[in-house]
Amino acid sequence: MKLNGAQILINCLQKEGVSHIFGYPGGAVLHIYDALSACDDITHILVRHEQGAVHGADGYARVSGKCGVALVTSGPGVTNAVTGIATAYMDSIPIVVISGQVSSTVIGNDAFQEVDAIGITRSCVKHNFLVKDINDLVNVVKKAFYIAMTGRPGPVLIDITKDATIAKIEFNEYPGSINVRSYKPEIKVEMSQIDKAVELIIQSKKPVIYSGGGSVIGNAYKTLRTFTRNANFPITQTLMGLGAYPATDRQSLGMLGMHGTYEANMTMHYSDCIIAVGVRFDDRITGNLDKFCPYAKIIHIDIDPSSIGKTISVDVAIIGQVNDILSALTQALKDKKLTNIDKWWKQINKWRAVDSLAYKTKDGVIKPQSVIEALYEVTKGEAIVTSDVGQHQMWAAQYYLFDKPRRWINSGGLGTMGFGLPAAMGAKIAMPDMDVACVTGEGSIQMMLQELSTMLQYNTPVKIINLNNGYLGMVRQWQEFFYNKRYSMSYMDALPDFVKLAESYGHMGIKVEKEVDLMPALVEAFKRKDRTVFVDILTDPSENVFPMIPSGAGHHEMLLSGHNDMVSTNDDGLNLV
């Protein structure tokens, strides 16, 4: 049967098992929307801004492990989508973004709503395709999903010209598999590297496992748990890795890095053998590279060869699926005798006793940390928590103890304010039976507020936990520490009444000004299973995120809670920001 390009596209998406598309129509994609209207298998979520569409698809993908799909029009449609695409790229999230393009006959003529989508997105996609000929469409769609989901996952953009959606050809079948000569994501684990790693591991007196987003994305949580428990090694996780290993477990040291726990960072600093699993030695983790882990041999496990040796040179690199490698290591260690590390654990427990996440309460003000603790209590630690970017993000990561993977959803790499709300919407769509909370601040939430409207239309009840301190808190914290308390442009005056705002969007709003009202408000919010509730909580504007490794410092040079003085750092340090 002859079908037009738009119908073929929708057919292909159905065959890929796509059940939800987040999108926004426009001239160049009208044919696609026409074809979509005739398709009952795919639910389209009409967002209010294309950035929200991509974040929605991204949140959906992070929670479900499936590929997210977004559909936008040409020109401003795709430029609005770019922030979302870059966010997914930095965190290796599989999404396929389909963008309309002007007709191939007018490309390059500065046509209405024309933009070079391929050029603009090139540096923030895993790959992108321009489809000008309908005959290429089917293979491109197949390739796009294959590339997005395999190897180190990432966003793929398909830019389709309007005439390619209109042209008709015979459509028979969608290929079951595809072979791309230049792209071979299957990597066989080199056993010789496993042997080298085993040698280091059995000799180690002060080992530590440092696990990241790769353990979550690579679905390696079971093998990670087995490996860690069998070895009885301490484990610390990155912002992106939280939940792969249970935070409440005895062996868990919490998060490491700039706002990591004292025990995690000290353990890293004094370790003699670091087993780095699905991580990329990001600057927020390492701090000053010259001071990073001076005593350790490093074993680096990752699927992306370019992650190896990028910022840190390592002793043993093992490339491949994290899951395969951890299985192989576990197997290889089975009949080996590990060095006794009781003394190491004793030392770690001393660091733990410092209780670096302790904070002082103050009468009359709500501490932001206590809000996250209350949220944890009310949801019994079982909610999906998305966040925006800033202080609230760090507090959520520190105080909500994630015991399961794919529950903590945040923009770690790009640090995109505005991510939290649409990501929560996407998460709720993927997991309708779970509680979803969006931890945010009054700065971040205002970047994607319009999606409250989408959330009413598609009935995606989410609890918005707004830590409202009137400041762009993380900026204010840095200005306090490093810029002599010159609070330049970090105070937000003229905030809206968030309760009324939520109500005007058809949702429920609750304002919390006193500590005593906090718990009842959260209980009330989570009781309303079918409503989106905006809980606006006025928190202590002077609170800072601790512990903190100031820029330029090493893991052993953390600032602990209660530190109120200027921090000495030099320009080299501030350059690392």
Contact with other proteins (CB under 8 A) among 37, 109, 230, 313: 313
Q: Is 477 annotated as catalytic?
A: no
Please report whether residue 123 would count as binding other proteins according to CB under 8 A. yes
Structure tokens at 71: 């559909």
| Structure tokens, 17 | 């098992």
The catalytic residue among 113, 347, 446, 450 is 113
Tell me how many residues contact other proteins (CB under 8 A): 19
Q: Dihedral angle at the C-alpha atoms of 549, 552, 553, 554, nearest 10 degrees?
A: 100
147 binds other proteins (CB under 8 A): yes
Q: Is 474 a catalytic residue?
A: yes
CB of 308 to other proteins, least distance (A): 8
| Omega of the bond leading into 547 within 30 degrees of 0 (cis) | yes
Residue closer to other proteins, measured from CB, 125 or 264: 125
Pairing state between β 207-211 and 273-277? parallel
Q: CB nearer to other proteins: give 111 or 312.
A: 312
Interface with other proteins includes 127 (CB under 8 A)?
A: yes
User: Which stretch, 303-311, 378-386, 442-450, 552-560, contacts other proteins (CB under 8 A)?
Assistant: 303-311
Question: Per the structure block, which two tokens stand in for 388?
Answer: 């925006």
Q: Is 460 helix (H, G, I), strand (E, B) or coil?
A: coil
Which of the residues 349 through 378 are near other proteins (CB under 8 A)?
none
Q: In Å, how far are 269, 347, 401 from 353, measured between CA atoms?
A: 17, 10, 18
Residue in this structure with the two tokens 């992106």, named with its chain if needed:
240
- Residue 451 annotated to the active site: no
User: Please, which residue, 140 or 224, has the CB nearer to other proteins?
Assistant: 140
**Interatomic CA distance for residues 572 and 577, integer angstroms:** 9
Rounded distance, CA 100 to CA 109, Å? Answer: 16
Least Å from the CB of residue 127 to other proteins: 4
SS3 per-residue string spanning 434-459: CCEEEEEEHHHHCCCCCHHHHHHHCC
The amino acid sitting at 196 is K
Of 108, 309, 432, 520, the residue at the interface with other proteins (CB under 8 A) is 309
| Shorter beta-carbon distance to other proteins: residue 115 or 510 | 115
Question: Which DSSP string corresponds to 321-387?
Answer: -HHHHHHHHHHHHTTPPPPP-HHHHHHHHHHHHT-TT-----TTS--HHHHHHHHHHHTTT-SEEEE
Instruction: Specify the residue for token string 């119908």.
Output: 7
Place of tokens 């987003």: 213
Question: Is residue 122 a contact residue for other proteins (CB under 8 A)?
Answer: yes
Determine contact, residues 537/512, Cβ cutoff 8 Å.
yes
Task: Assess whether 112 carries a catalytic annotation.
Answer: yes
Among the listed residues 17, 119, 294, 432, the single contact to other proteins using CB under 8 A: 119
Should residue 114 be labelled a site residue for other proteins when binding is judged by CB under 8 A? no
Residue 125 C-beta: closest distance to other proteins, Å:
9
User: Minimum distance from CB of 262 to other proteins (Å)?
Assistant: 32
Q: Which residue out of 162, 206, 367, 463 is catalytically annotated?
A: 162
Stretch 165-184 residues interacting with other proteins (CB under 8 A): 180-183
In whole angstroms, how close is the CB of 73 to other proteins at the nearest point?
21
Say which amino acid occupies 216: V
| Sign of the dihedral defined by the CA atoms of residues 502, 506, 510, 511, in that order | positive
Residue 182 or 564: the one with the smaller Cβ distance to other proteins is 182
Q: Which of 90, 258, 425, 474 is catalytic?
A: 474
Asked if 130 is part of the footprint of other proteins (rule: CB under 8 A), the reply reads: yes
State yes or no: residue 137 binds other proteins (CB under 8 A): no
187 sits near other proteins (criterion: CB under 8 A): no
Residue 463 β-bridge partners = 437, 533
Say whether residue 306 binds other proteins (CB under 8 A).
yes
- Residue pointed to by tokens 């093998």: 223
Which one is catalytic: 2, 112, 457, 503?
A: 112
Catalytic residues: 50, 112-113, 162, 474
Question: Given the rule CB under 8 A, which residues bind other proteins?
Answer: 118-119, 122-123, 126-127, 130, 147, 180-183, 304-306, 308-310, 313
